[in-house]
């Protein structure tokens, strides 16, 4: 029988000195002690959002960027100044939309440029401005496959050679799969090369969402945010970038009976430890799919980001943005 050790977390609201206990760290495997040391505090560093998403730490500017998808706005947070509007609009630049989630979702930094998964404009895009001087001007990286528009690119990851892998579920459409504006017959996982060539890698997942490359860049993990199939999938990339040997990395569907939340955004550290939003909070896996532990939260976790030294985890959790200092 598993020996589960529970360590209380304190959630620290920035507007008060009072510390309120709101959750636990579930220690399932002893090797979690190498990932999370001591008794970390989960802090609210920002709040008041409709649905916070897509966090990315920008080391050069010492700031965290994140999306409020329904508000079509990107915010920045710094230790010195707190939270400020960074970019608006962020995902939809037109005049009107029926989407309830028109803004940017996943965010990346690539060669000092901000890369956005834009729901409303239905594309992968690059901000055409410096990180320190943001403007709502964008360059399209990819917006269609086989002459059909994407639905709403959700999350993405770059490979070291410049290839961009991204997921395209229907969450940014007005009526998702029933929306007459949906052009793709599937909810796909795609790759776009630096030259702009788009290829479809997976067309069988019901709700592809978060996506990462494991260290070595030979394996891809995709989160499926479907309550009927709440599964993280793993694929191997062959020499031509076709996906092979697909397998279930971890199936969390049964957890939905007692916990809220679905597989969503995820990140991986240099050691191959995976931090994945899912039922109950943030799941922590090793590269083989062994669950090391979970950061159990009272709010739905959407996504997370690691600091450049892998010592701090930032979490977007519905109205909150949280910070966990994993180790000194």
CATH code, domain with 289:
2.120.10.30
Residue 90 domain boundaries: 5-265+272-325
Identify which of 235, 239, 215 has the alpha carbon closest to the alpha carbon of residue 224: 235
CA distance 237 to 227: 27
What is the number of structural domains in the chain?
Answer: 1
pTM: 0.93
The pLDDT of residue 16: 38
Which DSSP string do the residues of 279-325 spell out, in sequence order?
A: TTEEEEE-TTS-EEEEEE-SS---EEEE-TTS-EEEEEETTEEEEEE
Closest among 304, 242, 230 to 273, alpha carbons compared? 304
The pLDDT of residue 53: 98
**Contact (CB, 8 A) for 293 and 36:** yes
Q: What is the DSSP string of 181-247?
A: T---SS-EEEEE-TT--EEEEE---SSEEEEEE-TTS-EEEEEEEETTEEEEEEEEE-TTS-EEEEE
Instruction: Report the half-sphere exposure of 310 (CA within 13 A, side-chain side).
Output: 13
d(C-alpha 91, C-alpha 72), whole Å: 6
pLDDT means per 10 residues, the chain with 328 residues, are 37 42 79 93 93 98 98 98 98 94 98 98 98 98 98 98 97 82 96 98 97 98 98 96 95 97 98 98 97 95 98 96 93
From CA 49, how far away is CA 177, in angstroms rounded?
26
Q: What integer pLDDT is reported at residue 177 of this predicted model?
A: 65
CB 252 within 8 A of CB 279: yes
Say how far residue 328 (Cα) sits from the centre of its chain.
Answer: 24
What pLDDT is recorded for position 8? 39
The CA-atom distances, in angstroms, between 315 and each of 140, 179, 208 are 28, 31, 20
Rounded distance, CA 147 to CA 183, Å? 9
Ramachandran region, residue 82 (left: φ > 0; alpha: ψ -120 to 50; beta: rest): left
């Amino acid at each position: 029988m598993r020996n589960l050790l529970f360590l209380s977390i304190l959630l620290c609201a920035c507007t008060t000195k009072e510390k309120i206990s709101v959750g636990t760290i579930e220690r399932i495997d002893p090797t979690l002690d190498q990932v999370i040391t001591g008794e970390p505090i989960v802090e609210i560093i920002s709040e008041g959002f409709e649905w916070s998403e897509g966090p990315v730490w920008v080391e050069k500017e010492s700031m965290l960027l994140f999306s409020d998808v329904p508000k079509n706005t990107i915010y920045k947070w710094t230790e010195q100044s707190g939270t400020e509007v960074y970019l608006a609009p962020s995902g939809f630049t037109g005049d009107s939309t029926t989407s309830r989630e028109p803004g940017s979702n996943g965010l990346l930094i690539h060669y000092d440029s901000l890369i956005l998964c834009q729901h409303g404009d239905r594309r992968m895009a690059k901000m055409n401005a410096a990180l320190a001087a943001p403007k709502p001007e964008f360059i399209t990286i990819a917006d269609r496959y086989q002459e059909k528009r994407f639905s709403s690119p959700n999350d993405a990851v770059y490979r070291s050679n410049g290839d961009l892998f991204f997921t395209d579920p229907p969450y940014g459409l007005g009526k998702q799969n029933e929306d007459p504006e949906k052009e793709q017959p599937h909810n796909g996982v795609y790759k776009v090369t630096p030259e702009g060539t788009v290829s479809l890698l997976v067309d069988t997942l019901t709700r592809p969402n978060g996506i990462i490359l494991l260290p070595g860049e030979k394996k891809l993990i995709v989160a499926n945010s479907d309550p009927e199939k709440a599964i993280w999938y793993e694929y191997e990339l062959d020499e031509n970038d076709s996906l092979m040997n697909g397998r279930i990395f971890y199936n969390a569907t049964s957890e939905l009976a007692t916990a809220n939340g679905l597989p969503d955004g995820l990140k991986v550290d240099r050691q191959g430890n995976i931090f994945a939003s899912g039922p109950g909070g943030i799941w922590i896996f090793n590269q083989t799919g062994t669950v090391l532990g979970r950061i159990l939260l009272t709010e739905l976790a959407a996504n997370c980001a690691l600091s450049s030294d892998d010592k701090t985890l930032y979490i977007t959790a519905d109205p909150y943005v949280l910070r966990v200092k994993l180790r000194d």
